[in-house]
Chains A and B, each alone.
Chain A
Amino acid sequence: MTVSATLVILMAVLYAVGITVMLERSLTRVLIGFMLVGNATNLLILIVSGPSGSAPIVTGTASDESMADPVPQVLMLTAIVINFGITAFVLALIYRSWWLAQLGDQGDSVPDQHTEDTHAQTEAIFDSVDLDGEALQQALADSDEHPDDDEKEKRS
């Protein structure tokens, strides 16, 4: 099998640009990167599919012998349509966070999740579990007999 240097270089460029753009915080840029990576991946399948040839349509003539491999083509066709669906979905996401949630510029960017967290907030997450546990231990301890219980009761 031989490989076309042009296609390999093109694929590398598409991946490099796509990934670089995808690593930004702006959702629009992420989407653009995603589309470039999508094209690059289709190209990857195209490269490994082997040599080009005639269309994979059976004609019953000699050209059937030089037919391009149909397997990767089916994969790519599926990928193209799914890519389209995902692109539209991410666009809807962008619009929703931008407009419906009224987030403005922030709506288009992917925020850091925990940079603002404080120790107290983290502790608060476990409050319910801790309180349940404390109540349980208290209930158990209440039942323990102590030798001076009687005197306490008399005093009170």
Chain B
Amino acid sequence: MALFLLAFLVVSCATPFLTRWLSTRVFYVISVLPFSAFAYTLTQTPTVLAGETITESIPWIPQLGVALSFRVDTLAWLLALIVTGIGGLVLVYCARYFSRDEPGLGRFAGLLLAFAGTMYGLVTADDIIVMFMFWEITSVLSYLLIGHYVDRKESRGAALQALLVTTFGGLAMLVGVVMISVQAGTTSLASIVDQELSSPATTAAIMLILVGALSKSAIVPFHFWLPAAMAAPTPVSAYLHAAAMVKAGIYLVGRLAPGYAETPGWREVLVVLGVWAMLVGAWRSLRQYDLKLVLAYGTVSQLGFLMVIVGFGGYDAALAGAALLLAHACYKAALFLVVGIVDHRAGTRDWRKLSGIGRQNRVLAGITLIAVASMAGIPPLFGFVAKEAVFSAFLHAAEDGDVWGWVALIGTAVGSVLTVAYSIRFFWGAFWTRPNTEPTKLHSDGWAILIAPGILAAVTVIFGFGASVIDRFLVPYAETMPGTGDYHLALWHGFEPALGISAVVVLLGVILFIRRKWVARLQDAVSPMMDSSRGYWFIVQLIDRLSARTTIFAQRGGLPQYLGTILVVYVLTLGVASSMNRTWPDSIRPWDYPEQVLIAAAIGIAAVMAGQAKQRMSAVLLVGTTGFGMVALFALHGAPDLALTQALVEMITLVVFVLVLRRLPTRIAQRNKPVKRLVRASIGVAVGVIMAVVAVIALGARQEESIGTEWPRLAVEGAHGMNIVNVVLVDIRAWDTMGEISVLVVVATGIASLLFVTGRAGAIPRLQGSKQQRRGRNRRRVIVDPLAPGAEASSNRMSWLLAGRTLARGHRSVLLEVLVRLLFHPAILVSVYLLFAGHNAPGGGFAGGLLAGLALVARYLAGGRYELAEAIPVDAGKILGTGLILAVGTAIGAMFFGGVALQSAYLEADVPILGHLSFGTSTIFDFGVYLVVVGLTLDILRSLGAEIDRQQEQADLSEEAQDDFSESEAAR
């Protein structure tokens, strides 16, 4: 069964591609799959007939006890045959129904096939969670299928309505499903039914599940989505809204009935709402002009009928319910397909415009007559057999003194009268010859489209005569019900009360049809018994508006207000929590070492001044001061790696800030009123105080030894490194570092994409000419003419840097150029040293990468953007990518050698200068980190440096051009 589901998934995904070269013939090809599932289910018949089950289980989430388990018993077998058999027939029908140029045909075919597979999974699943999953997938697929005509308003509206209603029910059901599986201690449906739980909690769970079942099966008060869903293409209506999806609710009720029909409220709810739906649906069906809507409201009515009998409980009712389920699937699907053919051939479904179709289409009319008669319950068709069984079951219960038996009997009998009337209306509407109307011109579409409804009609006849054979197959389901019964399906039971009821029903139905003028007048006078559709729209609009209001109310204030709200909540919750604290640190001393006070004072003053600064540059410098203060604190605390990294980061940050701020005005625009300032300051102070309290409490609450006590040993023995911090980064906790460098790659890409509007690659301009020429031009010694104008002299002077001459004279500094020329290569060397030495001494990939980045910053500052490109003529993206590949490579590489991901291996050697080197895979990982940091710095320089330069120059040029233009204008 799981294999079939997999096949459904794969073929559905492939169907859109198949459709491209098979066009509508694709439906024939894919119908093979549901038909094979049908055949496979048929092979299970002997087992099911013997009252046994076929099970299959694949573990899925063992922690939750959820498994992909499937179980076929009589009920599942019956429904599996219905959904696969009718699914296949509908697909065959589709091949003729759709024209070759139908838009979205491939998508439609794939979705319909996927739906068939999902239904098959739904009815065979034994795990209630997996069943629910399929349940929800059908809702989503139904949304997509109803909305097939994306350009029609009513189609979109109907799709959304169906989705909202069924998922609302689905949500309620999910709660019920979780509740009942917790109470039962298992997720197996079979076991849940066997346990027959009864407690108030079970009742609540069952009621919630019923909400889901009622909404799915379009029972009052959720019935309105089904007629609306008729905006879908007819094959969808025939399959989803007659044979398959709406049956899911009936199926679930039928599945639970053997164990839970005695739950308080179960029978009351199902009988009352079922009868109600049956009457409302049939009544509204009687006033429709649109043939498809006649059927749609009729389906609501029939689903109500099914709900009453399937939910009623007991042997007789179960047998009758299963029979009616089968009968309804056959005739209702056939009728929908007939409507599709009439619509297709005549171009309308409004029976006022149809005339003489019966005369022109004898076969079609014959098929319809059989299906309609079965729906109305006329012998010798299967619909009659089922209806007889239903009436007998209710009568039997009523005779035993069951009040609900009477209610169900009278309700469904009245409903059946209406059913007979709308059945005649349907046939008469579609095929009658109306004297005042022109005979409808029909467009021929071949006989192949008749195959599917023809087979269904034939089945209806055969089952009618073979009722006693069908009985043998359905009895095992009835036997799962508590209690016994002796009823058997048969075409002829002799003269008995049920037959009398049937006869009266048909008679009254015919009268009702003949007096249809009278009915129409009454319909108009009495407003519809229950128009939930209006209520639905009211609720939806209310929720829409309410959410808009709430959003506007709660999110009016922009970022400061949100942050403020979050922080106030934070302060309040932590304040309450810390007021209940009883653990304090052993002691509080004024300082750890005297220098601390001096450093702290410097940082504090710089921070407060930074908060007050009105100019961008001074604010940035003051923040930088706090950062360098942190460097000192780290160094004195015993954290050389931190001090090194923080110092390098502060330097680069400062440069980056300057690069951006040169384009912004010096003063920061202040847009805050003085009152707000007080609010801001008090929130700030409150957070500061709370954090201080939290820090003190956190230190006092520490009871366990740090996990770090084991790290020195692990670092030396496991990772061959002395520097614990670095070893942790590249080995012990390398996963975290992997996450971190991924963030850095994302940040780098984000920065580049914010600045480069057109594309990422090739944005840095290179110098012209070959490598030789580029080198040579700067090496050429040019005699400087002291008399020549300054510009000439400067442009010919030998440059210390490759691209030095590309800068304007005023932007060049010989001192800087010389320094950078002398320091760049040593800096790169030192960065490599830091990278390799980091395993045993302060340093590592982060520090090394930052130093290399700083060297690049220097090159850029001294020589401009051309210099940057000459210094590192590789795209930043490639460096980032290589770094990430190296890191991921070491992670995966270890797994090839039988280790876990990121496990390290080592080669040791004594290398001159660098000392004892233990080269391990973790060093390769660290090199990846190094490259990512270099790539990030390069990307920042390219974007915030080079690109901003270019935009500035462009802006200057266009400004000049504009000035020239206005000057020449003025001259005129």
Residues of A bordering B, CB below 8 Å? 1-26, 28-30, 32, 35-36, 39-40, 42-44, 46-48, 50-59, 64, 67-71, 73-74, 76-78, 80-89, 91-96, 98-100, 105, 108-115, 117, 122, 125-126, 129-140, 142-147, 153
Contact = CB atoms under 8 A, between A and B. Distances in A.
Contact of A73 (B567, B623, B642, B663): B642
A117 to B, nearest CB: 6
Given A5-B591, A48-B702, A80-B642, A73 B725 contact: yes
B234 to A, nearest CB: 15
B588 A5 contact: yes
Contact of B688 (A15, A85, A92, A98): A15
A56 B724 contact: yes
A143 B523 CA distance: 13
Contacts of B634: 46, 76
A88 B608 CA distance: 23
A15 to B, nearest CB: 4
B94 to A, nearest CB: 23
Given A9-B692, A56-B638, A4 B589 contact: yes
A96 B751 CA distance: 10
B630 to A, nearest CB: 6
Interface stretch (B286-294, B379-387, B778-786): B286-294
B29 interface: no
Contacts of B228: 136, 140
B747 A129 contact: no
A62 B593 CA distance: 22
A32 to B, nearest CB: 5
B631 to A, nearest CB: 10
A69 B706 contact: yes
**Interface secondary structure of A, over-half rule:** helix
A11 B699 CA distance: 14
A51 B663 CA distance: 45
B716 A58 contact: yes
A36 B563 contact: no
B620 interface: yes
Contacts of A56: 638-639, 708, 711-712, 723-725
A84 B645 CA distance: 11
- A-B complex: 3 closest residue pairs judged by Cβ atoms: A16-B688, A20-B684, A132-B157
A82 B645 contact: no
Contacts of B815: none
Contacts of B627: 35, 39
Contact of B672 (A22, A25, A122, A145): A25
B558 A67 contact: no
Contacts of B808: none
B799 to A, nearest CB: 30
B638 A54 contact: yes
Interface stretch (B36-44, B496-504, B648-656): B648-656
B521 interface: yes
Interface string B753-788: 011010000000000000000000000000000000
A109 to B, nearest CB: 6
Interface in B708-729: 708, 711-712, 715-716, 722-725, 728-729
A69 B706 CA distance: 7
A145 B663 CA distance: 72
B699 A3 contact: yes
A71 B557 contact: no
A145 B585 CA distance: 83
B683 A77 contact: no
Given A32-B619, A92-B754, A10 B600 contact: yes
B814 interface: no
29 contacts: A3-B589, A3-B695, A4-B589, A4-B596, A5-B590, A10-B604, A11-B688, A18-B684, A20-B684, A25-B671, A29-B619, A47-B699, A56-B724, A70-B708, A71-B708, A78-B740, A88-B944, A91-B657, A92-B944, A95-B660, A95-B663, A99-B948, A99-B951, A113-B555, A114-B555, A132-B157, A132-B160, A135-B154, A139-B231
Contact of A11 (B552, B695, B748): B695
Nearest to A81: B846
A126 B541 contact: yes
B943 interface: yes
Interface string B661-676: 0011100111110000
A135 B610 contact: no
Interface in B673-714: 680-681, 683-685, 687-689, 691-692, 694-696, 698-700, 702, 706-708, 711-712
Interface residues of B, number: 145
B544 A129 contact: yes
B755 A96 contact: yes
B359 interface: no
Nearest to A128: B156
A33 to B, nearest CB: 8
Given A36-B610, A133-B540, A14 B596 contact: no
Nearest to B607: A17
Contacts of A117: 552
A113 to B, nearest CB: 6
B842 interface: yes
Given A1-B699, A145-B288, 7 more contacts: A6-B597, A10-B604, A13-B607, A16-B688, A52-B638, A76-B639, A132-B153
Given A55-B640, A88-B751, A146-B520, A77 B729 contact: yes
Contacts of A8: 692, 695-696
A131 B537 CA distance: 12
A147 B638 contact: no
Given A39-B626, A69-B706, A78 B669 contact: no
Contacts of B103: none
Given A1-B702, A81-B740, A115-B556, A24 B672 contact: yes
B588 A3 contact: yes
Nearest to A112: B558
A92 B755 contact: yes
A56 B645 CA distance: 15
A140 B227 contact: yes
Contacts of B227: 140
Contacts of A6: 590-592, 596-597, 600
A2 B596 contact: no
B646 to A, nearest CB: 5
B533 interface: yes
B959 interface: no
Nearest to A51: B592
Contacts of B564: 23
B265 interface: no
Nearest to A53: B638
A131 B153 contact: yes
A2 to B, nearest CB: 5
Contact of B680 (A11, A23, A48, A51): A23
B548 A85 contact: no
Nearest to A132: B157
B926 to A, nearest CB: 13
Contacts of A98: 663-664
B927 to A, nearest CB: 16
A68 B638 contact: yes
A64 to B, nearest CB: 6
B558 A110 contact: yes
Nearest to A44: B695
A100 B757 contact: yes
Nearest to B670: A26
B586 interface: yes
A116 to B, nearest CB: 10
B444 interface: no
B63 interface: no
B552 A122 contact: yes
A101 to B, nearest CB: 11
Interface string B452-468: 00000000000000000
A42 B289 contact: no
B172 to A, nearest CB: 23
Contacts of A5: 588-591
Interface in B614-646: 616, 619-620, 623, 626-627, 630, 633-634, 636-642, 645-646
